[in-house]
Amino acid sequence: MATLKIGDHAPNFTLSSATGENVSLNDFLGKKVVVIYFYPKDDTPGCTAESCAFRDNYDVFTDAGAEVIGISGDSVASHQQFASKYQLPFILLSDSQNQVRKLFDVPATLFVLPGRVTYVIDKKGIVRHIFNSMLDFQAHVDEAIKTIQAL
């Protein structure tokens, strides 16, 4: 399996959102830049810090014509609670079988923990930026903002 890299077409997918709707990457093509961040688990310290950083900068993304999508293996019900507890205004998708994580070649940390990787995908569906860091939560947001402002 080839590794997804900058300049590649992002693979389409469809997953259930925290609101129970099916969301596909293709829904945004031609309309918005998409920032997809894969994170390990709802309501854990690092994932909460990262998600809240995206929340606190959400206006910067929407003002730039981008949509933020968080993806983890947690259930729709878990996402509902997580989004409600922290007032997350963006889309959370449930990848309970880790199929989309595999499509995007998100590596596991220490072969066990689901990885933390952010992708910026332009309106044509092309991957423009990939940022991988398990511990630098704020950098996921900063890198994504820098990339969309340069597009």
91-108 per-residue burial string, b: 16 or more CB within 10 A, e: under 16: bbbbbeeeebbebbbbee
- Put the strands of the sheet holding 127-132 in their side by side order: 22-24, 14-17, 91-94, 66-72, 33-38, 117-121, 127-132
Residues noted as catalytic: 47
Neighbours of 32 (CB within 10 A): 18
> Based on the number of CB atoms within 10 Å of its own CB, is 137 exposed (0-12), middle (13-18) or buried (19 or more)?
buried
